[in-house]
Amino acid sequence: GENVEQHPSTLSVQEGDSAVIKCTYSDSASNYFPWYKQELGKGPQLIIDIRSNVGEKKDQRIAVTLNKTAKHFSLHITETQPEDSAVYFCAASIPQAAGNKLTFGGGTRVLVKP
């Protein structure tokens, strides 16, 4: 089955700096890569996703890049703000007849210091 590794497990940045989280996946058949943000006491919330036919996607201060050859993808947050503090999860999904199934990375706890 698919295996997703995520690094770093914790990340502390100064407000205004950039944050980068990296994930690798094992199954080359994976074709969908979403990122989730989880705040305290809440469920994970989808913040951006990318499909395998795209190399990069941006949405305001966040961007995701995908390197299918190397089987890794990254989340970039620019101009970080205190409200970006949360746990971030990457995931990879393999197409299946019964519908895609996500495999999650271990999460990255991001702390933005004012």
Partner 1 sequence: ETGVTQTPRHLVMGMTNKKSLKCEQHLGHNAMYWYKQSAKKPLELMFVYNFKEQTENNSVPSRFSPECPNSSHLFLHLHTLQPEDSALYLCASSQAGYGYTFGSGTRLTVV
Residues at the contact surface with partner 1, assessed by CB under 8 A:
32, 34, 36, 41-46, 49, 89, 91, 93, 95-96, 98-107
Q: How far is the CB of 12 from partner 1 (least distance, A)?
A: 20
Q: How far is the CB of 21 from partner 1 (least distance, A)?
A: 14
Phi, psi of 83 (to 5 degrees): -70, -5
Q: How far is the CB of 47 from partner 1 (least distance, A)?
A: 12
Structure tokens at 72: 């890794």
Q: Which residue's CB is nearer to partner 1, number 73 or number 89?
A: 89
The distance from CA 34 to its chain's CA centroid, rounded to whole angstroms, is: 6
Per-residue HEC secondary structure of 2-49 comes to CCEEEECCEEEEECCCCEEEEEEECCCCCCEEEEEEECCCCCCEEEEE
Q: Which residue's CB is nearer to partner 1, number 53 or number 69?
A: 53
Q: How far is the CB of 44 from partner 1 (least distance, A)?
A: 5
Q: Which residue's CB is nearer to partner 1, number 72 or number 104?
A: 104
- Structural contact between residues 87 and 30, judged by C-beta atoms closer than 8 angstroms: no
